[in-house]
Amino acid sequence: MKLVARIAVAAGFAMFTSLAMAQENDPIVTESTSTSTVTTKGETETTIKSPPNSAISPGINVNNSDLCTVGVAGAVQTQILGISGGSTVRDMNCERLKNAKTLYDMGMKVAAVSVMCQDERIFNGMEMAGTPCPYDGKIGKEAKRLWDENPELKPTGENSSNDKKSFFAGIGLGTLLSLLLFL
């Protein structure tokens, strides 16, 4: 019984001392009211950094293998001006080959060779091989005789001169766009 009494006294002492310690750690709170005025004077500068302008060339999709066209697109951007554009370019030799193949597949062999002979290179190759291109439905020696009588009707390199004009026009446009880049 003495043991129980000692434990009860020790437990009571522990409870009272922990309350006293808890009261000692509480902060002291006081109430007060104050009024203050703050005046600030200053200058601010704002710099806005925006992304550069973009000239985005259009996508020209010519993935169909049955078309004889090539897509061309480009863009140039300067600090002031942006230009973009695109187009398709017909490949005349591709068209010639497709037309000749179609004629040949339809059994029109002379017509197919005639279409191919519109190219000066093929015309000259056929002459060098001793098989002249058809002339007005005539083939062989008779066609050769008719071509010799009418040399002005032979195909010339006009297509290549048009290709050169297009090439130089493209270079001129590229130069102009490059100059815009340096504005």
- Retrieve residue 19's tokens: 């309350």
> Distance (Å, rounded) from C-alpha 102 to C-alpha 108?
9
Query: Who contacts 44 (Cβ-Cβ below 8 Å, separation ≥6)?
Result: none
Q: Are 82 and 55 in contact (CB under 8 A)?
A: yes
pTM for the whole structure: 0.51
- Mean pLDDT of all residues in 89-117: 92
- Where are the domains positioned within the chain? 68-183
Give the pLDDT of residue 145.
93
Q: Kind of pairing, strands 82-90 and 69-77?
A: antiparallel
CB 70 within 8 A of CB 61: no
CA atoms within 13 A on the CB side of 96: 13
The residue that leads in pLDDT, 126 or 31, is 126
Structure tokens at 16: 């009272």
**CA dihedral defined by 61, 65, 67, 69, rounded to 10 degrees?**
60
Nearest to 111 by CA among 142, 139, 147, 130: 139
| Per-residue pLDDT tens over the stretch 36-70 | 787 878 888 877 776 666 767 767 666 667 778 87
pLDDT, tens digit, for every residue of 2-28? 766 667 666 665 565 554 444 555 666
Q: What is the mean pLDDT of the segment spanning 153-170?
A: 68
pLDDT of residue 182: 65
Helices assigned H by DSSP within the chain: 2-25, 92-105, 109-116, 120-128, 141-149, 158-181
Quote the pLDDT of residue 105. Answer: 96
Q: What is the rounded average pLDDT of the residues 88-109? A: 91
